[in-house]
Amino acid sequence: MCGIVARFSTQPLPNDNFLLRATQQLKHRGPDGEGIFRSASVELGHHRLSIISPETGAQPLCDEATGVVLTYNGEVFNYRDLREVLKARGHVFRTETDTEVVLRGYLEFGVGVLDRLEGMFAFVLYDPRAQKVFGARDRMGVKPLYYYHDEKGSIVASEIKAILEDRRVPRTISPEALMEYLVFGFVAGSCTSFSAIREVEPGQYFIFEKGDFVFRSYWNPAEE
């Protein structure tokens, strides 16, 4: 289990130490290490629980040639097989992690990498070449991923309390979600107990590009 957080916008982000506060809220998810990435309009944070390649798996992970950077939580079960496919296509790996397989899988297949990943995961990736942010959640929704979006930009994180470290996020409770939880013991769909915060649904990915925040499904159990 690791913790990830990202904040991104089409405008320069404020220098308000949000990323440090938000990653601190996720420390319990990954006590073995932490890291941050900042650009003018994108911030990525990570708290790590070391499972695979403890010595070389620090995150966020950046590809030096392209500048593509990834913060990732999860386990890709077929990463060794996919690693061999990517090596055969010319990719050179500098770690033994499934994190790097996800990153290089994106470099090779783009969004199509999701069709090749078998496992449980949530991640956010920034591609400076296209000024694009790409994120996804695994097919069954084992790994959590929440988001907030307004006209100033978006925040995505493993837990809601990390998102709430941005002071602009409304704290208004959703009466409908509260009632649903009290009746059924859970909240269905993308709703959360906060009206302004949603959950990326299982089998769903998002792209933030030129101010547009678009969600699409990449997997449907009815089609299997």
**Would you please indicate which residues are annotated as catalytic (active-site) residues?**
2
Q: Report which residue type is found at 172.
A: T
Which of 58, 23, 60 is closest to 39 using CA atoms? 60
Would you mind telling me the total number of residues written for the chain in this entry?
Answer: 224
**Pairwise CA distance, residues 129 & 137, whole Å:** 23
Within 10 A of 17 (CB to CB), how many other CB atoms are there? 9
Kindly give the pairing relationship between strand 146-150 and strand 69-76: unpaired
| CA–CA gap between residue 84 and residue 91 (Å, rounded) | 9
